[in-house]
């Protein structure tokens, strides 16, 4: 189904995956999302969606908690085990709320209790799109950063660790037993390859990867 012009166009890769065994529910949700310019795709069973799931999915899942065969909760657990980060919004009946709350604590994006408010549901889908878009952008930036790190020679990596430790050029030269001029050249190459202008900027950039600075 092609979506008309809308704010959702900016997330062209984003699709709302509707996973529900009830055809009437699937059709109603797809019509609702289409009315707000949101692209969607329907799946009749959790097993069907799982077979197609992977790292390349963008958007979100609208997932029924109770389905024949694999339940929505089981599918959510399997997606996380596979490392699939797509946001999941559970659609729940009143009796399923405790399960949905637990899933929320385990990393689900949100849950909506039936009967749901149409506009509130679509707004939540768009919020999930924005969340997934930010996650994908962060992952891309981290990948590019690791690519820059791979350009460093072994010696440049050693000097970079010393720079990140706040050591002066003279101290680095003494500890690595190289000339201070050589340290200055390495520092210049490091800043150029990492596309930074200072040790502070370098430290902030590597902090975005989380954990300790790469060795």
CATH of the domain at 186: 1.10.10.10
Q: Is 50 inside a domain boundary? A: yes
Contact present, 92 and 165 (Cβ < 8 Å): no
pLDDT above 80 for 200: yes
CA-CA-CA-CA dihedral for 48, 118, 23, 91, to nearest 10: 50
Whether residues 37 and 123 fall in one domain: yes
The pLDDT score that the predictor gives to residue 93 is 81
Residue 83 is predicted with a pLDDT of: 85
Q: 125 and 185, same structural domain? A: no
Residue 215 lies in a domain: no
The number of domains in the chain is 2
For residue 210, pLDDT over 80 is answered with no
Q: How many residues does the chain have?
A: 215
Do 120 and 168 share a domain, yes or no? no
Kindly report the average pLDDT of the chain as a whole number: 86
Q: In this model, does residue 79 exceed pLDDT 60?
A: yes
pLDDT band at 189, cuts 50/70/90?
Answer: very high
Q: 97: domain range? A: 7-143
Task: Single out the residue in 102, 117, 143 at which a domain terminates.
Answer: 143
Same domain for 136 and 155: no
Q: Which residue has the tokens 């024949």?
A: 68
**Measured CA distances, 143 to 79, 148, 165 (Å):** 22, 9, 24
Average pLDDT over residues 89-104: 85
Instruction: For 146-168, write each residue's pLDDT tens digit.
Output: 999 999 999 999 999 999 999 99
Q: Are 50 and 73 in contact (CB under 8 A)?
A: no
Phi, psi of 54, deg, nearest 5: -175, -170
* Mean pLDDT across 73-96: 89
Q: At 29, phi and psi to the nearest 5?
A: -65, -40
pLDDT band at 104 (very low <50, low <70, confident <90, very high): confident
Identify whether the C-beta of residue 32 lies closer than 8 Å to the C-beta of residue 118: yes
Rounded to the nearest 10 degrees, how much is the dihedral formed by the CA atoms of 91, 95, 100, 105? 160
Q: Would 47 be classed as within a structural domain?
A: yes
Give the tens place of pLDDT for each residue, 2-57.
333 333 333 347 899 999 999 999 999 999 999 999 999 999 999 999 888 765 67
């Amino acid at each position: 189904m092609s979506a008309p012009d809308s704010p959702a166009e900016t997330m062209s890769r984003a699709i709302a995956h509707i996973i529900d065994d009830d055809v009437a529910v699937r059709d109603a949700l797809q019509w609702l999302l289409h009315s707000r310019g949101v692209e969607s795709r329907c799946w009749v069973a959790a097993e069907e969606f799982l077979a197609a799931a992977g790292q390349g999915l963008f958007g979100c899942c609208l997932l029924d908690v109770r389905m024949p065969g694999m339940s929505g909760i089981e599918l959510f657990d399997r997606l996380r085990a596979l490392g699939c980060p797509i946001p999941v919004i559970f659609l729940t009946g009143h009796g399923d709320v405790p399960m949905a709350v637990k899933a929320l604590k385990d990393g689900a994006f949100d849950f909506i209790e039936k009967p749901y408010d149409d506009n509130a549901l679509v707004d939540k889908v768009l919020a999930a799109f924005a969340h997934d878009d930010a996650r994908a952008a962060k992952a891309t930036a981290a990948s590019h950063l690791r690519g820059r790190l791979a350009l460093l020679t072994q010696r440049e990596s050693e000097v970079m660790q010393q720079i990140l430790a706040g050591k002066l050029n003279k101290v680095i030269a003494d500890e690595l037993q190289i000339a201070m001029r050589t340290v200055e050249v390495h520092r210049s190459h490091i800043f150029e390859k990492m596309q930074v202008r200072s040790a502070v900027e370098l430290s902030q950039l590597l902090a975005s990867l989380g954990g300790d600075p790469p060795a």
